Amino acid sequence: MGRLGKKRIVLKLGSNVLTKGTNQISRGKIEDIGRQILVLQDTYEFVIVSSGAIAVAKQFVNLESNGNGVAINVKQALASIGQPHLMRIFQEGFRDHGLLTSQCLLSYSDFEKKQSQENIINTINVLIANDYIPIINENDTVATDEIQFGDNDKLAALTASLLDADLLVIATNTNGICTKESVENNTCQTITEVYDIESLENEIISSVSTHGTGGMKSKIEATRIAQKADIETWIINGLNDDFIMNAIHNKIQFTKINNVVHNE
């Protein structure tokens, strides 16, 4: 629970959501997210975990490798170029709604040390108390895990756990998790509510999104981390306008992974 009785949401935004499936960041999508946060801010407080730095950089540059064929180094360099641009787009889009933003770059090692954990908690709580929205990304220039695996899904779950969030919302480019059969038939029958994460894994088709690095497998791993921390997870189609508000009011189909295992 956040301050003043507000519910704390950690909102993870994948690259495919921020680009709306194109090759560049959608300012309209970021404005849509900011507008929703503005409407919901009396009841909810938000911490954003955002991908997209590499996608932004690709709009500006086409980097050569260092000759050793180490693609990961190129991606780290792209992240370094793209991150300031990504934050500027967030800052401008949110500022139009009177919202203030701040940047937090984290690495996995930060979650492993007690002092670092306390620093993260204290810093983010101060930001929120002063009406700044923390926007978190992995420090891709020095860390490679999320570039290779997960598109920040795991980072979002660890952040939600550390910050004692009430809800983890993972915005992706599908209507939640669909049954395997419906995906194979090119229809999407959304699995709307889940208690047992193991049952979800049987429905996952191994695939990686266009800009992202995760696909549904990494989202399942994220929900496992969140459930262990007693946090509910929603997997929502973030391409649609008002996706957060519509999910809160049950106006759309999405996948809800309950925070406790249900025993019949």
pLDDT tens for 23-39 read 889 999 999 999 999 99
Q: What's the average model confidence in pLDDT over 81-106?
A: 95
Distance between CA atoms of residues 137 and 148, nearest Å: 14
Q: Is residue 262 one of the residues assigned to a domain?
A: no
The pTM assigned to this predicted structure is 0.89
Q: In the prediction, which pLDDT does 82 show?
A: 92
Distance between CA atoms of residues 212 and 21, nearest Å: 10
C-beta separation of 12 from 152 below 8 A: yes
Q: Is the pLDDT of residue 247 over 70?
A: yes
Strands (E), the chain: 7-13, 44-50, 100-106, 132-138, 167-172, 193-194, 232-237, 255-257
Average pLDDT over the chain, rounded to an integer: 86
* Phi, psi of 48, rounded to the nearest 5 degrees: -105, 135
Q: Is residue 70 one of the residues assigned to a domain?
A: yes
Residue 74 confidence class, pLDDT cut points 50, 70, 90: confident
Distance between CA atoms of residues 232 and 166, nearest Å: 7
Q: Is residue 14 one of the residues assigned to a domain?
A: yes
Number of domain units in the chain:
1
Q: Is residue 167 one of the residues assigned to a domain?
A: yes
Beta-ladder partners of 99: none
Q: What is the CATH number of the domain that holds 87?
A: 3.40.1160.10
Q: Is residue 102 one of the residues assigned to a domain?
A: yes
Q: In the prediction, which pLDDT does 263 show?
A: 47
Q: Is residue 264 one of the residues assigned to a domain?
A: no
- The residue count of the chain comes to 264
Residues 104-143 pLDDT 10s: 999 888 898 999 999 999 999 999 999 999 999 988 666 6
Q: What's the average model confidence in pLDDT over 98-102?
A: 98
Q: Find where tokens 């996952």 sit.
A: 204
Residues 187-209 pLDDT 10s: 778 888 988 888 777 776 544 44
Residue 96 lies in domain: 3-257
Q: In the prediction, which pLDDT does 147 show?
A: 56
Sign of CA dihedral 27, 63, 80, 243: positive
Q: Is residue 17 one of the residues assigned to a domain?
A: yes
Q: Is residue 263 one of the residues assigned to a domain?
A: no
